[in-house]
Structure 1
Amino acid sequence: MRFILLRHGETLWNVEQRLQGHENSELSERGRQQALRFAKYAAALNPRHVVSSDLGRTRETARLLGYGEVACDKRFRELHMGEWTGRTKPELIANHAEDYGAWRAGRFTPHNGEDWDGFRARVAEGVRHWLAQAEGDVLAVVHSGVIRAACAEFLGLPPALTVPTTPGAAAILNFADSRGGEAKLEGYNIGALAPDDSTAD
């Protein structure tokens, strides 16, 4: 069974390299084109079920893919950034390099933010739920952090060892069954023309 994790298209905050977390930012024109470009991959993958995070940027991406009515699951929201919400990646690296590196590795939580272990657990719960419900391949329109959390939970990949998924690109985890045990990585950054590290993590 495949669990296809698609990162939403680029947003206006992505362009500015701002951490979004639970805040919403509209898709940029490039982001809309990224979603439209992935539609051919989605059609070829032909998932049994489609679900998205409940945040606007994922729901808009799903709509552009041709899935106007999808189930929304809060468990697939991005990591809550706390007081780092809206701050830019270059500014954080310039002024809080050690904390930023530790946060990217899952060892630091910004004030009022969500800790990595809790985030990973809620994402894993969502993945297992939809695997069991769908009885087949699932396409989940989510966020970069959600993809890292799923890779950590089911592949044992530490977050510091995965590059951010490019907006409008996907990772595919292949599960032996619907119980959501250990998975194999079938693909990463699928749909991207080239890796894009210009957006915030």
Structure 2
Amino acid sequence: MRLLLVRHGETVWNAERRLQGDRDIPLSATGRAQASALAPVVAAHAPACVVTSPLARTRETAELLGFPGERHDARWQEADLGDWTGLRTAVLRERGGAYAAWRAGRFTPPGGEPFAALTERVAAGVADLRADPGGGVVLVVTHGGPIRAVLRHLLGLEPARIVPVGPASLTVLDLGVDGARLHGYNIRAGAEAVQPVGRS
């Protein structure tokens, strides 16, 4: 199975450098343009199944990618960031090392969801997709946190070892009986895309 993971386009809060977690913040005009620009990159892989987080920013991104009417799965929703929801990253950086530790998956904001719990629910979502006898190419439109969790779960990559997941970016993994292989990360519109399945 080829797993395509797309992070939603930029939101209003992304542009303001505010943490949103599972708050339902809409795409900005830039985010809508980013998602539209990524559409041909994703379409080249011809996904047979499309799943999104239930939040509006992922559902709108999927529509702009050309896949309306997708299936929603709350396991692909972004983590709850508790007391940090709505705070600007500059403010959090001024408070010491907690922000860097959170980015590395080693700290949970007060009242928030631990990275281990996020990884567990995303892993269950991946397992269900792999159990589908249809297999093939699956597109999941989700958030930065779940994508980092997938990389940890399938490849053992800790969040501290990867650069942030960019808005409207594509990550491509092939899942086989011998494990998972990463084919592309943070692929943006205009960049050289990973070759779709069956093409040289």
What is the TM-score with the length of structure 1 in the denominator? 0.90
CA contact (8 A) 1:38 1:169 kept: yes
Give the Cα separation in 2 of the matches to 1:132 and 1:65: 25
CA contact (8 A) 1:3 1:131 kept: no
Give the Cα separation in 1 of the matches to 2:129 and 2:20: 25
Runs of 4+ in 1 over 3 A off after TM superposition: none
Equivalent residue letter for 1:64: L
Give the Cα separation in 2 of the matches to 1:84 and 1:182: 35
Aligned ranges for residues 132-151 of structure 1 at < 5 Å? 132-133=131-132, 134-151=134-151
**From 180, 184, 193, the counterpart of 1:183:** 180
Instruction: Describe the superposition over 1:4-47 as per-residue Cα deviations: whole angstroms up to 9, x where unpaired.
Output: 10000000000011111110111111100111011101210101
Q: More deviation in 147-156 or 104-113? A: 104-113
Instruction: Describe the superposition over 1:139-167 as per-residue Cα deviations: whole angstroms up to 9, x where unpaired.
Output: 00000111100001101100111111110
Aligned ranges for residues 60-71 of structure 1 at < 5 Å? 60-71=60-71
How far off is 1:192 after superposition? 4.8
Give the Cα separation in 2 of the matches to 1:57 and 1:164: 18
How far off is 1:107 after superposition? 1.4
Superposition CA RMSD, Å: 1.4
- Tell me, yes or no, if structure 1 residue 31 matches structure 2 residue 31: yes
How far off is 1:112 after superposition? 0.9
How far off is 1:131 after superposition? 2.5
What does residue 83 of structure 1 align with?
A: 83
3-state secondary structure, aligned to 1:45: coil
Equivalent residue letter for 2:135: E
3-state secondary structure, aligned to 1:141: strand
Aligned ranges for residues 71-150 of structure 1 at < 5 Å? 71-95=71-95, 97-133=96-132, 134-150=134-150
Instruction: Describe the superposition over 1:68-111 as per-residue Cα deviations: whole angstroms up to 9, x where unpaired.
Output: 1000000000111010001111110012x311111111111111
Give the Cα separation in 2 of the matches to 1:132 and 1:168: 27
Give the count of matched residue pairs. Answer: 190
What does residue 155 of structure 1 align with?
A: 155
Structure 1 unaligned spans of 5+: 195-201
Structure 2 unaligned spans of 5+: 192-200
3-state secondary structure, aligned to 1:113: coil
CA contact (8 A) 2:37 2:189 kept: no
3-state secondary structure, aligned to 2:68: coil
Give the Cα separation in 1 of the matches to 2:69 and 2:109: 34
3-state secondary structure, aligned to 2:27: coil
3-state secondary structure, aligned to 2:92: helix
CA contact (8 A) 1:7 1:142 kept: yes
Give the Cα separation in 2 of the matches to 1:119 and 1:148: 10
Give the Cα separation in 2 of the matches to 1:167 and 1:105: 19
